[in-house]
Amino acid sequence: MSKSIHELNADLFNAEADDRFASPLEARKKAMDFLARREHGQVELVKKLVTRGFLQEVATEAIERLAEQGLQSDQRFVENFIQSRIGQGKGPLRITQELGQRGLVAGLVEQILGDLETDWSWLACQVRQKKFGDRRPVEFKEKARQMRFLQYRGFDAEHIGVAVADARGEQNREQ
């Protein structure tokens, strides 16, 4: 039984598409496109490549090679991510959670967070002040609302206590 010209063409096009997604070179090119826009973690890059149609093994191999060559670095990604989230007023618990969702090892995240000399209490004060103003919360209901907000932002109980108890923010840092 002979195939029609359309079936033959479809076979040719599918074979080329399949070859492209099995090519480590093509996976590398696509990964480099992603890395040109921003840093990515290894797990995140592999997932992106797989969702674009690349084979899991090909994507993993390409990303491991990029990491060996220093073109992809989980440490660099974590450092940039943390600085970005600090700029957004996020606390260490939220940052750790977001990085965990991106498949990064908790040990690396905790190490980099520990190496930073960030005053989380001061940041919590600044975030609280920006959202609620300079006035110290007097009523329990308002204090609880501010505490929930800071907890959602990823600050721990110690940071929240300082921020809500001392609503002066900037003055507290100078002492």
Other CB atoms within 10 A of residue 3 CB? 10
**Local confidence band at 137 (pLDDT 50, 70, 90 cut-offs):** confident
In terms of residue numbers, what domain contains 80? 74-115
Q: Indicate if 59 and 13 belong to the same structural domain.
A: yes
What is the number of domains present in the chain?
A: 3
What integer pLDDT is reported at residue 83 of this predicted model? 95
Examine the pLDDT at 169 and tell me if it is beyond 70: no
DSSP 163: H
Q: Indicate if 9 and 64 belong to the same structural domain.
A: yes
Q: In the predicted model, what is the mean pLDDT of the chain?
A: 86
List, for residues 25-78, the tens digit of each pLDDT value.
899 999 999 999 999 999 999 999 999 999 999 999 999 999 999 999 999 999
